[in-house]
Amino acid sequence: MKFKNKKILLGITGSIAIYKAADLLRKLTKNYGADVQVIMTNSALRFMSPLVFETFSGKNVYSSIFDEGYVGTRHIDFAKEADIVLICPATANIIAKAASGIADDLLSTIILAAGTKTVFAPAMNVNMYKNPATMENMDKLKKIGYGFIDSETGMLACNDIGKGKLTNIDKILEYLNMTLNGTNKLKGKKVLVTAGPTREYLDPVRYISNRSSGKMGLALAEEAKKEGAEVLLVTGPVSIDIPNDLETIKVESAIEMRDTLIQNSDSVDFLFMAAAIEDLCPAEYIDTKIKKNDTITEIPIKLAPDIVSEFRQKNKKTCIVGFSVEMNDGKERSINKMQKKGLDYIVWNNPKDDGVGFEHDTNEVTLFSQNGHEWFLSKNSKRNIAENIIKIITESGKNK
């Protein structure tokens, strides 16, 4: 296990399990080389001195937005810079605040800004844990896509026996290892991922396109890279941040997307075709801006090339995963598409469902395979959905 160059924000709240957080921090920095920034709540400061955490992290510990030496919008920078925000121990209170979007101190503000990068390791009394309010808060956060390293059952500090005990440090380290380093499932594999929409120009300033944000494709590319693959992302015009270390080619039209994929198709092991190729292309491109008083009443349309089918014709060995956006008869239509286009798998999104598909940070999908298996992946962050798609496909293999 190594966390060199990994930035972890460790948020500590007021629970007696705090002593375990000190040991966790010591292991993260001293044994595994992580770069850890500790943030403590006011209650946490009553349990333990920040000096312990400053010594193990080698950095100042902050607890208030108004701390001396704490400038400007650093809470936003902390959230952005961290590869993961781990709240350990996480009290019922911080979970409730996160579930309600409350940002009334430094840690809760960071959690709100970091969103689904945050993972909670709860620690509390069994009655607090089992209280429907807490359970609902945890469910709500899980649905949004926040991570949880669940508590264990055992003897609690108050002498009650039940669920609420902070899980052991090794489990937390294992979770961080899986999330930050992956398990090299795609080591030595070449992976091509497409993302975003395409733009089909009518004249130099007008185009037909769609609402695809590229988030699902980016999540797949990042997960594949984490799993050790050599990844190339081919993306249409998107406004999401693409990490500098992810090899990327930007394209605009379906034709450019097709040419780029064909040029880069040599010995590709996996193609994740998450791009929403715009099928409706103006039949003719007019190379000066069409004027208002030009009497255009119709735009003749032609269809874009079916890129993934062309790719399949040329590359029989690649394991190809297509994506399908369908509302009515989605299952049948998606499976038909998989057969027609020669895909190994197809991922069906139903954009009618809340928080699913285009532009959202979350998704809920069903994955179908050539040999008739199906997997329902319930609503979660696109990163989590991508992780699970890769897990299933690497375990099931081509054409299964």
Q: Which of 75, 189, 190, 337 binds ligand C5P (CB under 6 A)?
A: 337
CA distances to 194, 376, 377 from 348, in Å: 16, 10, 10
Does residue 238 bind ligand C5P (CB under 6 A)? no
What is the C-alpha radius of gyration for the chain, rounded to an integer number of angstroms?
Answer: 24
Shortest distance in whole angstroms from residue 349 CB to ligand C5P: 10
Helices (H), the chain: 18-26, 42-47, 50-57, 74-81, 92-100, 106-114, 126-130, 132-144, 169-181, 215-226, 254-263, 307-314, 330-341, 382-396
Residues with a catalytic annotation lie at 158
Binding to ligand C5P (CB under 6 A) within 358-397 occurs at: none
Q: Which of 56, 322, 348, 365 binds ligand C5P (CB under 6 A)?
A: 322
Q: Which of 44, 144, 273, 390 binds ligand C5P (CB under 6 A)?
A: 273
Shortest distance in whole angstroms from residue 333 CB to ligand C5P: 8
27 or 337: whose CB is closer to ligand C5P?
A: 337
Any idea of the CA torsion for 321, 322, 326, 331, to the nearest 10 degrees? -40
- Whether the ω angle into residue 89 lies within 30 degrees of 0, i.e. cis, is yes
337 or 382: whose CB is closer to ligand C5P?
A: 337
Angle among Cα 269, 305, 343 to the nearest 5 degrees reads 35
CA of residue 115 relative to chain centroid, distance = 11
96 or 257: whose CB is closer to ligand C5P?
A: 257
**Tokens 């429907």 belong to which residue?**
132
Q: Are strands 362-369 and 374-381 parallel, antiparallel or unpaired?
A: antiparallel
Site string for ligand C5P, 298-317 (x = CB under 6 A): ------x-xxx---------
Number of H helices, E strands in the chain: 14, 19
Does residue 221 bind ligand C5P (CB under 6 A)? no
120 or 323: whose CB is closer to ligand C5P?
A: 323
- Phi, psi for 220 (deg, rounded to 5): -65, -40
Shortest distance in whole angstroms from residue 253 CB to ligand C5P: 11
Does residue 256 bind ligand C5P (CB under 6 A)? no
Structure tokens at 323: 């994506």
Residues near ligand C5P (CB under 6 A), total: 14
Q: Which of 180, 242, 277, 377 binds ligand C5P (CB under 6 A)?
A: 277
CA distance 117 to 141: 12
Structure tokens at 255: 């034709």
93 or 253: whose CB is closer to ligand C5P?
A: 253
Confirm if 167 and 87 have CB atoms less than 8 A apart. no
Does residue 275 bind ligand C5P (CB under 6 A)? yes
Residues in the chain: 400
Q: Pick from 117, 99, 111, 93: which is nearest to 42 by CA?
A: 93
Shortest distance in whole angstroms from residue 197 CB to ligand C5P: 10
Name the segment binding ligand C5P (CB under 6 A); options: 201-209, 235-243, 271-279, 291-299.
Answer: 271-279
Shortest distance in whole angstroms from residue 282 CB to ligand C5P: 15
Does residue 279 bind ligand C5P (CB under 6 A)? yes
Binding site for ligand C5P (CB under 6 A): 254, 273, 275, 277, 279, 304, 306-308, 322-324, 337, 341
